[in-house]
Chain A
Amino acid sequence: MSKKMPIAALVVVVASLFAADLARAATITSFRYHRDSLINATLTLHRRDANTGRILNTDSWRAGSGTVQDACNKADPAHGDNVGGWLPTGFYDITRHVHNYPGSSVQGRVWQLQNHACSDGTVRTELFIHTEETSSGGQSCEQFCWDGPNDYYSQGCIKVARAGAAPTDIAEANNHWDAWDGRHGAFTAVDRLYVFT
Chain B
Amino acid sequence: MASIPRRWIGRLGIATLLVSLGVAAAALSASGDAPTAAPDVGAFAIEQQAASAPPGLYVSGARVTERTKERTSTKQLDNAALAPLLGKGSPVAVPSPDGRLLAYNSWRSTGPTGGTPTLRLFDFASSADIVLARGAQAPAWRHDGSLAYEQADAPAFGSTAPYQRRILVRDSASASPTVWTARADLYGVIGWAGDRLIVGRASPDGQSGELLAFDRPNSSHLLAVNSGLVAISPDGAHVLVSDGGPGLSTPLRLRLLDVTDGSETASLVLADEIGPSSGGPVEWVDVPGSWRGDLVVMTASPGLLVVRVGDKSVKAEQVLGLDLRQIGTDGVYEPRFVDGTKRIVLWGNSPEGTTPRTFQLDCDRVALTCLRGPDTLAASRPAYDRSGGTE
State yes or no: do A and B come from one complex. yes
CB distance from B226 to the nearest CB of A (A): 7
Collect the chain B residues with CB atoms within 8 Å of residue A123's CB.
84-85, 113, 157
Choose one: A74, A79, A83; the contact of B284 (CB below 8 Å). A83
Q: Is B99 an interface residue (CB 8 A)?
A: no
Q: Is A44 an interface residue (CB 8 A)?
A: no
Collect the chain B residues with CB atoms within 8 Å of residue A128's CB.
205
| Cβ B112 vs Cβ A117 within 8 A | yes
Q: Looking at chain B's contact residues, is the secondary structure mostly helix, strand, loop, or mixed?
A: loop
Q: Is A89 an interface residue (CB 8 A)?
A: yes
CB distance from A6 to the nearest CB of B (A): 41
| Cβ B358 vs Cβ A69 within 8 A | no
| Cβ A81 vs Cβ B205 within 8 A | no
CA distance A80 to B193 in the complex (A): 14
| Cβ A73 vs Cβ B286 within 8 A | yes
CA distance A64 to B328 in the complex (A): 23
Q: Is B208 an interface residue (CB 8 A)?
A: yes
| Cβ A77 vs Cβ B352 within 8 A | no
CA distance A114 to B288 in the complex (A): 27
Choose one: A82, A95, A106, A119; the contact of B226 (CB below 8 Å). A82
| Cβ B379 vs Cβ A120 within 8 A | yes
CA distance A119 to B206 in the complex (A): 22
Collect the chain A residues with CB atoms within 8 Å of residue B116's CB.
none
CA distance A103 to B82 in the complex (A): 30
Q: Is A163 an interface residue (CB 8 A)?
A: no
Q: Which residues in window 34-71 of B have CB below 8 A to A? A: none
Residues of A in contact (CB 8 Å), total 50
Q: Which of B208, B226, B301 has the most CB of A within 10 A?
A: B208
| Cβ A106 vs Cβ B113 within 8 A | no
Q: Is B100 an interface residue (CB 8 A)?
A: no
CB distance from B353 to the nearest CB of A (A): 7
CA distance A147 to B248 in the complex (A): 9
Collect the chain A residues with CB atoms within 8 Å of residue B202's CB.
76-78
Q: Which residues in window 117-153 of A have CB below 8 A to B? A: 117-123, 125-126, 128, 142-143, 147, 150-153
| Cβ B352 vs Cβ A80 within 8 A | no
| Cβ A77 vs Cβ B200 within 8 A | yes
Contact with B along A72-105 (1 / 0, CB 8 A): 1111111111110100110000010000010111
Q: Is A29 an interface residue (CB 8 A)?
A: no
Collect the chain A residues with CB atoms within 8 Å of residue B241's CB.
80
| Cβ B228 vs Cβ A80 within 8 A | yes
CB distance from A162 to the nearest CB of B (A): 13
| Cβ B287 vs Cβ A83 within 8 A | yes
Collect the chain B residues with CB atoms within 8 Å of residue A197's CB.
352-353
CA distance A81 to B86 in the complex (A): 10
Q: Is A65 an interface residue (CB 8 A)?
A: no
| Cβ A80 vs Cβ B200 within 8 A | yes
Q: Is A174 an interface residue (CB 8 A)?
A: no
Could you say which of B182-190, B258-266, B335-343 contacts chain A?
B182-190
| Cβ A71 vs Cβ B207 within 8 A | no
| Cβ B333 vs Cβ A119 within 8 A | no
Q: Quick one: given A81-B287, A83-B284, are A121 and B207 in contact (CB under 8 Å)? A: no
Choose one: A72, A80, A121, A150; the contact of B246 (CB below 8 Å). A150
Collect the chain B residues with CB atoms within 8 Å of residue A76's CB.
86-87, 89-90, 188, 202
| Cβ A77 vs Cβ B287 within 8 A | no
Q: Count the A-B residue pairs with Cβ separation under 8 angstroms: how many?
A: 172
CA distance A72 to B226 in the complex (A): 21
| Cβ A83 vs Cβ B187 within 8 A | no
Collect the chain A residues with CB atoms within 8 Å of residue B286's CB.
68, 73, 81, 83
Q: Is A70 an interface residue (CB 8 A)?
A: yes
Q: Is A116 an interface residue (CB 8 A)?
A: yes
Collect the chain B residues with CB atoms within 8 Å of residue A69's CB.
324, 330-331
CB distance from A57 to the nearest CB of B (A): 30
Choose one: B113, B200, B206, B228; the contact of A126 (CB below 8 Å). B206
| Cβ A80 vs Cβ B89 within 8 A | yes
| Cβ A67 vs Cβ B201 within 8 A | no
Contact with A along B87-105 (1 / 0, CB 8 A): 1111000000000000000
| Cβ B160 vs Cβ A95 within 8 A | yes
CB distance from A66 to the nearest CB of B (A): 10
Q: Which of B87, B107, B204, B209 has the most CB of A within 10 A?
A: B87
CA distance A82 to B243 in the complex (A): 9
CA distance A30 to B82 in the complex (A): 34
Collect the chain A residues with CB atoms within 8 Å of residue B204's CB.
103-104
Q: Is A27 an interface residue (CB 8 A)?
A: no
**Smallest CB-CB separation from B332: which chain A residue?**
A70
Q: Is B245 an interface residue (CB 8 A)?
A: yes
CB distance from B227 to the nearest CB of A (A): 7
Which A residues are within 8 Å of any B CB, using their own CB? 67-83, 85, 88-89, 95, 101, 103-106, 114-123, 125-126, 128, 142-143, 147, 150-155, 157, 197
Question: Could you pull out 15 A-B pairs where Cβ atoms are within 8 angstroms?
Answer: A68-B284, A68-B286, A69-B330, A70-B349, A76-B188, A77-B203, A77-B207, A79-B229, A80-B227, A104-B208, A105-B208, A115-B159, A121-B82, A147-B247, A154-B247
